[in-house]
Amino acid sequence: MRSVQFIHAADLHLDSPFSGLKHLPKELFKRVQESTFNAFDRLISHALENKIDFLLISGDLFDGEDRSLKAQIKLQKQMVRLQDAGIEVFFLHGNHDHLSGSWTSIDMPNNVHIFSEQVEKKHFQTINGTNVYLYGFSYGKRHVYEKKINDYQKEEGADFHIGMLHGYCTGGQTVHQPYAPFSVQDLLDKKMDYWALGHIHQRQMLHEEPYIIYPGNIQGRNKKETGTKGCTFVSMNEFETNVQFLETADIIWEELFYSAKEIEDFNQLYTTCREKIEEVRKKNQGTFLSLQIQDTQGLSNDVLKKVENGELLEILQDDEEMMDNFVWVHEISIHENDITYENDFLTQEISTALMELKEEQALVDAISPLYSHVYGNRFLDSISNEDKMDLLIEAEKMVYSKIKS
């Protein structure tokens, strides 16, 4: 019976700078900086343990177009591990590590096969004689808006056909740059046996039989990328395809909502936070935790102040020891749905002002002095549309909390 086993991963983002987390304690920040490499090591260990035929990586192996030497050396060493086990690797470059970048290249072992800028077919044969055709392309530049799916053409001569594509599914649930756009129907029309997608960091199964899968990234990098992260283990034969999620993340980002209805004073609030921290502590993973407190109407202004001014957060962070399965509370928030306001006129005025800021140019005008400041601009990273919306949400919370107090 013809069969094949492989692992499908994407969006490794090796050597992500995590520039927004530089304020962390030195030991913790070092762990964060190494997290993408640790997750990659777990990915390779899964490949070896499952004795797969080949590994697929659907774009964005590196976080930047410069491909740091550290990241390339780490990649090379892991590829050698796979080569020693007789495992082939097929990967393509995405918008983050496109081919037009500037870097000092490190040679990869012979088991590594990289797709070029044009859609092409690569052939793989298992030791049992099963033939597989793999189709894909690497980004020649950072921004690829063309419908590259139109260039995929299935060819006769293989037992299984696998499409690899780093791009955006139109009509999807996530807001992302619409690179190399396609629809689910576009993929189905190509009659592939499996689609190995990349670009979206959230794990998604777009279709079954044939499976069309975004495995998500292997390591969450910020508070928006919550939950387990990993890769997809795929077993295919002539009659069926089975898929299994394998976890890889070294650090998990979590968001926990809990009610303060039964809490009467600060001691109870602190004790409850400690209990919640222990509830989420993993066996062999670190955790960044966002605590969202609901039903706070019964809390005194004094207790709320200790939350809003960061005092409670600082105490919880001071409590935490830097062990492998740390839980670092990175934020504590009063859930915005709980906030009530007495000054209806003032609230309406503020709401109107915030709505105006949601207009693109108004927000740009509001923050532009920071970026034009002679000293301040050197410390600021570029800001994405998602970051801008986060700023507005945090500003709204701060303003309304001041009204309440």
Instruction: For residues 364-375, give the mean pLDDT.
Output: 67
How many Å apart are CA 214 and CA 212, to the nearest integer?
7
How many Å apart are CA 253 and CA 330, to the nearest integer?
10
In what side-by-side order are the strands of the sheet with 88-92? Answer: 112-114, 88-92, 54-58, 3-9, 230-237, 241-247
pLDDT digits (tens, 9 = 90+) for 125-146: 999 999 999 999 999 999 999 9
Instruction: Identify which has the larger pLDDT, 382 or 242.
Output: 242
Looking at the DSSP bridge assignments, the partners of residue 241 are 236
SS3 236: strand
| Span(s) in the chain for CATH 3.60.21.10 | 3-247
Residues shown for the chain: 405
**C-beta neighbour count of 270 within 10 angstroms:** 17
Task: Single out the residue of 252, 259, 270 nearest to residue 334, CA to CA.
Answer: 259
Q: Give the pLDDT confidence score for residue 178 in this predicted structure.
A: 87
How many Å apart are CA 202 and CA 245, to the nearest integer?
13
Residue entry with tokens 């000092």: 104
Residue 34 parent element (H or E): helix 26-49
In the chain, % of residues over pLDDT 90: 75
187 contacts 209 by C-beta, under 8 angstroms: no
Give helix then strand counts, H and E, for the chain: 9, 15
Q: How many CA atoms lie within 13 A of 216 on its CB side?
A: 24
DSSP string, 177-214: ---S-B-HHHHHHTT-SEEEEES-SS-EEEETTTEEEE
Residues 6+ apart with CB under 8 A from 7: 43, 46, 47, 50, 52, 55, 56, 231, 232, 233, 234, 246
Residue 403 has pLDDT above 70, yes or no: no
pTM greater than the 0.75 cutoff:
yes
How many Å apart are CA 9 and CA 90, to the nearest integer?
11
Phi-psi region at 277: left, alpha or beta (left = phi > 0; alpha = psi -120 to 50): alpha
Token pair for 37: 């490499």
Task: Single out the residue of 102, 126, 152 nearest to residue 4, CA to CA.
Answer: 126
97 contacts 143 by C-beta, under 8 angstroms: no
Task: Single out the residue of 189, 244, 56 nearest to residue 134, CA to CA.
Answer: 56
How many Å apart are CA 23 and CA 111, to the nearest integer?
40
pLDDT digits (tens, 9 = 90+) for 50-76: 999 999 999 999 998 888 999 999 999
Q: Give the pLDDT confidence score for residue 377 in this predicted structure.
A: 56
Which range among 134-138, 175-179, 262-266 shows the weakest confidence by mean pLDDT? Answer: 175-179
Check whether domain 3-247 has CATH 3.30.230.10, yes or no: no
How many Å apart are CA 114 and CA 57, to the nearest integer?
10
How many Å apart are CA 211 and CA 8, to the nearest integer?
12
Residue 358 has pLDDT above 90, yes or no: no
